[in-house]
Amino acid sequence: MPTKPPLRLVLCAPRGFCAGVVRAIEAVERALQLYGAPVYVRHEIVHNKHVVDSLKAKGVIFIEELSEAPPGRHPVILSAHGVSRAVQDEAKVRNLFIVDGACPLVTKVHREAQAHFKRGRRIILIGHSGHPEVIGTVGQLPPGAVALIGSVQEAEALEPDGRDVAYVTQTTLSVDDARDIIATLKRRFPSIHSPPVEDICYATTNRQDAVKAAARDVEAFIVVGAGNSSNSQRLREVAERKGCAAQLVADAHAIDWRALEGVRSLAVTAGASAPEALVERVIDALRARYAVALETLTTATESMAFPLPRGLRPAA
């Protein structure tokens, strides 16, 4: 047997599922237990095909619009990214059995935006156009009430209009990018109202910090996550900015082995919607090709947990 080349493999911690994702998946599984199949879910409950496919196998039907869900006793669960007021209103009109799977940290941003609007403030949302979370946040308020920006240049282009100004952010942004945009807003609008607690969620921050720490000491990075996962894409970007050759892979089959030729040190992490099973398969694939020396780099410990949505909680 040919000798396998050595590979120092650094496993980032924390990685993978966050409390909001755990809550959303548990909500769907609890609904299946209580009400049986089918359970309807509007959009992907989280951005991960492996998770979606596993729930489909249990009797979950994923729909794009509420009009696809029949009225009746079967629950319709809204995704962890949150939805607009229009979607919530449509559900009431159609008398659907709705379970809100929105991450509580996303709901927090919604409430902040609503409070600023009631106070007559100009609301600036820092986020990525077209992302479901951004669509949901913008949709909490009347059209035109929220100005969406995604770069320092767009922050520079904003002009005062006489109103007090406030900002909120998408929860899965690059911490560094958001910091630069916020600094620009504070320079342009010195009295701008900031969130009482940072909107970028703890899991996003912790996973990016772990990548930064690992990237100082490895040549390459594998981020396990879906291509449409904002937080996974940000992890890849963070690794690249630290000088690593980084790739985002949905699973072990997607690894670009050519990009790893000659690499002797590699770090692995996973986005907040990627299950640990996918990480384990990536490690197994690496072990099949390399003599792996595995180590774990822990930069934070997490204990956050959220209760299930009302209506799905166990009886007291």
Q: Checking DSSP bridges between strand 122-126 and strand 165-169, what pairing results, if any?
A: parallel
Distance CA 201, CA 211 (A): 16
Q: Give the separation between CA 195 and CA 211, rounded to whole angstroms.
A: 26
Q: Give catalytic residue positions.
A: 133
* CA dist., res. 175 & res. 177, Å (int): 6
Q: Give the Cα separation of 57 and 228 in Å (integer).
A: 22
Terminal-to-terminal C-alpha distance of the chain:
60
Alpha helices in the chain (DSSP H): 19-35, 49-56, 85-93, 104-118, 132-138, 152-157, 175-188, 202-215, 230-241, 276-289
Q: What is the DSSP letter of 141?
A: S
d(CA 100, CA 77) in angstroms, rounded, equals 6
Count CB-CB contacts under 10 A for residue 183. Answer: 12
Minimal CA–CA distance to 156: which of 185, 125, 122? 185
Question: What is the Cα–Cα distance from 174 to 187, expressed in whole angstroms?
Answer: 20
Q: Among candidates 28, 33, 38, which has minimal Cα distance to 74?
A: 38
Residue type, 171: T
